[in-house]
Amino acid sequence: MAEPTDEEVVQTAAQAAEGLVFSRYKQSEVTDLDVTVTFEDGVLDVDVYLNAPDDTRDPEQVADDAALTARSAVDDLFDD
């Protein structure tokens, strides 16, 4: 089976991160979301910036969870 392309890796990670954020916040609650994913020479870098209300959740924790979810999704992509 062929290895995923760099583009597939980036897409998978970005979709997973965004999915996690929007599973915890309504889209209308999120003021700003920036998911930056790079995959070069086999190294995955995921950075999630989230600006959302912190009255019920810690946005920093949600951003960290989103980055971890993105990495996990990429691991699963390579395991398939």
27-53 confidence digits (pLDDT tens): 999 999 999 999 999 999 999 999 999
In a domain, 1, yes or no: no
Q: CATH number, domain at 47?
A: 3.30.300.100
In a domain, 70, yes or no: yes
pTM for this prediction? 0.93
Cα angle, residue 16 at apex, residues 6 and 60 outer, rounded to 5°: 115
The number of distinct structural domains making up the chain is 1
**What's the residue count for the chain?**
80
Residue 1 scores a pLDDT above 70: no
Structural domain boundaries enclosing 30: 6-79
68-77 confidence digits (pLDDT tens): 999 999 999 9
Judge whether 52 and 31 are in contact, CB under 8 Å: yes
Alpha helices in the chain, H assignment, sequence order: 6-24, 59-79
Residue 2 scores a pLDDT above 90: no
Task: State the average pLDDT for the chain.
Answer: 95
Instruction: Assign 57 a pLDDT band (cuts: 50, 70, 90).
Output: confident
